[in-house]
Amino acid sequence: MTDTPDVALRREIVETCRKMNASGLNQGTAGNISVRNEAGFLVTPSSLPYDMMQPEDIVQMYFDGTYEGARRPSSEWRFHRDILAAREDINSVFHCHSVYATSLAVHHKTIPSFHYMTGIFGGTTIRCARYATYGTQELSDAALEALEGRTACLLGQHGQIALGKTLAQALYNAIEVETLSRLYVQALVLGEPPVLPDDEMERVIRQMKNMSYGRAPDLDGVNDTARKRA
């Protein structure tokens, strides 16, 4: 029997939660995931281990802050709601306490453009939001500020948020935040690394926007695309 779109999406959320823990991004019941649907958005429930979670445990929420289902929504539902309401360009929100990103977040460190891949999140930095108590509107407001023009941020003394058009893209972005965080922490052992200048990062970001499945047109118009041999 074929799943309805709602059940299929719920299954995908559960599978993605388990991938998040299996990848080492998250531990225990920490972290949460949401995805937009026709009614509002689906969000993971509060305090339920991912290996026990079933599709029916995923909570249907509405943008007025109400919900349906047997379980309570994640305590962080506010920033899921507010981010999805403010950002029509994305459909999925990831939050986790990955080790290296959180290590930087406890020091309130913004990740600079020490590596060109910081540009995939839309700017020259991955900002760190100011600290606010978890589950509060203050935290949601701080996250929205740090995410302006970006698809990822750190949360002061807390963890990270990554956004995506799809669940798969949000998971990819969360993994990339953690990878860059690890590189930055290790680079700091040798001292503060040099930072790429803004004009180079502008070139990098333009190039990233032009990329599509391995077809990366040169910014100077030379060798526009790689062509498959006949």
The mean per-residue pLDDT over the stretch 44-59 comes to 94
pLDDT at 213: 35
CA distance 139 to 155: 8
Q: Which of 79, 80, 81, 56 is nearest to 69 (CA)?
A: 56
How many CA atoms, within 13 angstroms, populate the side-chain half-sphere of residue 135? 5
Q: Which of 42, 50, 48 is nearest to 80 (CA)?
A: 42
Q: Which of 96, 104, 95, 84 is nearest to 25 (CA)?
A: 96
- The percent of residues in the chain predicted with pLDDT above 90, rounded, is 79
Q: Does 38 score more than 60 pLDDT?
A: yes
Contact indicator for 32, 21 with CB cutoff of 8 Å = no
Residue-wise pLDDT for 3-12, tens only, equals: 788 999 999 9
Q: Confirm whether 15 is a catalytic residue.
A: no
Cβ neighbours of residue 8 under 8 Å, at least 6 residues apart? none
For residues 115, 121, 123, 127, the Cα torsion angle rounded to the nearest 10 degrees is -90
Q: Which of 94, 80, 97, 13 is nearest to 40 (CA)?
A: 80
- Cα 188 to Cα 114, 152, 178, 183: the distances in Å are 10, 21, 15, 9
Q: Does 214 score more than 60 pLDDT?
A: no
Determine the CATH number of domain 5-196: 3.40.225.10
The mean per-residue pLDDT over the stretch 113-140 comes to 97
pLDDT at 229: 65
pLDDT at 211: 73
Which of 45-54, 107-116, 216-225 has maximum average pLDDT?
107-116
CA distance 145 to 131: 12
Residue-wise pLDDT for 69-110, tens only, equals: 899 999 999 999 999 999 999 999 999 999 999 999 999 999
User: Residue 223 — pLDDT band, cuts 50, 70, 90?
Assistant: very low
pLDDT at 23: 85
Joined tokens for residue 56? 């029916």
pLDDT at 53: 94
pLDDT at 39: 95
Phi, psi values for residue 218, rounded to 5° = -65, 140
User: Residue 24 — pLDDT band, cuts 50, 70, 90?
Assistant: confident
Q: Catalytic: which of 12, 76, 176, 178?
A: 76
pLDDT at 179: 97
CA distance 178 to 63: 30
Q: Which of 88, 91, 67 is nearest to 77 (CA)?
A: 67
Joined tokens for residue 41? 């958005």
208 vs 195: which has the higher pLDDT: 195
Q: Does 119 score more than 50 pLDDT?
A: yes
The mean per-residue pLDDT over the stretch 54-76 comes to 96
